[in-house]
Amino acid sequence: MKIIKRSGSEMLFDAEKITAAVRKANASVIDYEKLTEKQIKEIVANVENACEYMKHSPSVEEIQDMVENQLMNQHAFTVARNYITYRYKRALVRKSNSTDEQILSLLECNNEEVKQENSNKNPTVNSVQRDYMAGEVSKDITKRFLLPDDIVEAHEKGLIHFHDADYFAQHMHNCCLVNLEDMLQNGTVISETMIDSPKSFSTACNIATQAIAQIASSQYGGQSISLSHLAPFVQVSRMKFRRQVRKEFEKIGLDLDEEKINEVAEMRVRKEISSGVQMIQYQVITLMTTNGQAPFVTVFMYLDEVPAGQTRDDLATIIEEMLNQRILGVKNEQGVYITPAFPKLIYVLEEDNIHEDSKYWELTKLAAKCSAKRLVPDYISEKKMLELKKDKNGEGHCYTCMGCRSFLTPYVDPETNKPKYYGRFNQGVVTINLVDAACSSEGDMDKFWEIMDERLELCYRALMCRHKRLLGTPSDVAPILWQNGALGRLEKGEPIDKLLFGGYSTISLGYAGLCECTRYMTGQSHTDPDKGTPFALEVMKKLNDACAKWKAKENIDFSIYGTPLESTTYKFAKCLQKRFGLIKGVTDRNYITNSYHVHVTEEINAFDKLKFEAQFQSLSPGGAISYVEVPNMQNNIEAVLSVMKYIYDNIMYAELNTKSDFCMECGYDGEIKIVEEEGSGKLVWECPKCGNRDQDKMSVARRTCGYIGTQFWNQGRTQEIKERVLHL
506-557 pLDDT, tens digit per residue, is 999 999 999 999 999 999 999 999 999 999 999 999 999 999 999 999 999 9
- Residue 126 annotated to the active site: no
Provide the pLDDT for residue 124.
Answer: 60
Is residue 630 in some structural domain?
A: no
Band the pLDDT of 108: cuts 50, 70, 90: low
Mark whether 174 is an active-site residue: yes
Q: Are residues 18 and 97 in the same domain?
A: yes
Q: What is the pLDDT of residue 712?
A: 74
- The model's pLDDT over 559-618, given as tens digits with 9 standing for 90+, comes to 999 998 878 888 999 999 999 999 999 999 999 999 999 999 999 999 999 999 999 999
Is 322 assigned a catalytic role? no
Q: Are residues 159 and 199 in the same domain?
A: no
pLDDT number for residue 339: 87
Considering the domain architecture, whether residues 466 and 588 belong to the same structural domain is answered as yes
Q: What is the pLDDT of residues 407-418, one digit of tens each?
A: 999 999 999 999
Q: Tell me how crowded residue 290 is: count the other CB atoms within 10 A of its CB.
A: 14
Q: Which residue has the higher pLDDT, 102 or 505?
A: 505
- With a cut of 50, say whether residue 359 has pLDDT above it: yes
Q: Are residues 338 and 200 in the same domain?
A: yes
- Catalytic, out of 385, 398, 402, 547: 402
Phi, psi of 335 (to 5 degrees): 80, 15
Dihedral sign (CA 626, 628, 632, 636): negative
Question: Mean pLDDT over residues 350-376, rounded?
Answer: 97
Average pLDDT of span 134-147:
79
Average pLDDT along the chain: 90
Residue 282 and residue 331 in one domain: yes
**Which distant-in-sequence residues (6+ apart) come within 8 Å of 356 by Cβ?**
none
* Same domain for 181 and 161: no
Which whole number is the average pLDDT over 173-194? 95
Q: Is pLDDT above 90 for 126?
A: no
- 37 and 185, same domain (yes or no): no
Q: What are phi and psi of 212, to 5 degrees?
A: -55, -45
- In total, how many domains does the chain have? 3
User: pLDDT at residue 367 above 80?
Assistant: yes
Active-site option among 406, 441, 525, 567 = 406
Q: Domain end: 342, 366, 388, which one?
A: 342
Instruction: Look at residue 362 and tell me if it is in a domain.
Output: no
Q: Is 706 a catalytic residue?
A: yes
User: Is the residue at 337 inside a domain?
Assistant: yes
Known catalytic membership, residue 370? no
Under the banding of pLDDT at 50, 70 and 90, the label for residue 280 is very high
The pLDDT of residue 91 is 65
The active-site residue out of 54, 172, 175, 547 is: 175
In a domain, 717, yes or no: no
Under the banding of pLDDT at 50, 70 and 90, the label for residue 104 is: low
- Assigned domain for 248 exists: yes
Structural domain includes residue 315: yes
Q: Is residue 158 one of the residues assigned to a domain?
A: yes
CA 558 – CA 544 distance, rounded (Å): 9
Give 128's pLDDT tier (boundaries 50, 70, 90): low
Give how far Cα 722 sits from Cα of 53, 74, 346, 676, 716, Å: 20, 41, 26, 11, 10
558 contacts 509 by C-beta, under 8 angstroms:
yes
Same domain, 446 and 569: yes
Note if 37 is an active site residue.
no
pLDDT score at 119: 45
- The pair phi, psi for residue 368, each rounded to 5°, is -60, -40
For residue 195, what are the β-bridge partners?
Answer: 188
So what's the pLDDT on residue 133?
65
| Residue 110 appears among annotated catalytic residues | no
How much is the pLDDT for 633? 92
Say whether 183 is catalytic.
Answer: no
109, 158: one domain: no
Of 534, 560, 593, which one is at a domain's C-terminal end?
593
**131 or 721: which carries more pLDDT confidence?**
721
Task: Show Cβ contacts of residue 302 under 8 Å, excluding neighbours closer than 6 positions.
Answer: 226, 227, 228, 348, 350, 380, 382, 398, 400
Same-domain pairing of 334 and 434: no
Residue 217: Cβ-neighbour burial (10 angstroms; 0-12, 13-18, 19+)? middle
Establish if 308 belongs to a structural domain: yes
Give the mean model confidence (pLDDT) for residues 439-459.
Answer: 98
Region 75-102: mean pLDDT is: 69
What average pLDDT does the segment 210-218 reach?
Answer: 92
Catalytic entry in 158, 488, 706, 709: 706
Residues 155 and 282 in one domain: no
Q: Are residues 119 and 184 in the same domain?
A: no
In this predicted structure, the answer to whether residue 329 has a pLDDT above a threshold of 60 is: yes
pTM, 2 dp: 0.85
Under the banding of pLDDT at 50, 70 and 90, the label for residue 102 is low
Of 90-94, 286-290, 698-702, give the range with the top mean pLDDT: 698-702
Residue 175 among the catalytic residues: yes
Q: Which of 593, 613, 630 is the last residue of a domain?
A: 593
Query: Per the residue annotation, which of 321, 566, 629, 720 is the catalytic one?
Result: 566
Look up the domain containing 43 and give its range.
Answer: 2-149
pLDDT, average across residues 482-508: 97
Count Cβ atoms below 10 Å from residue 615 Cβ, excluding itself.
14
In this structure, the number of other CB atoms found within 10 A of the CB of residue 604 comes to 18
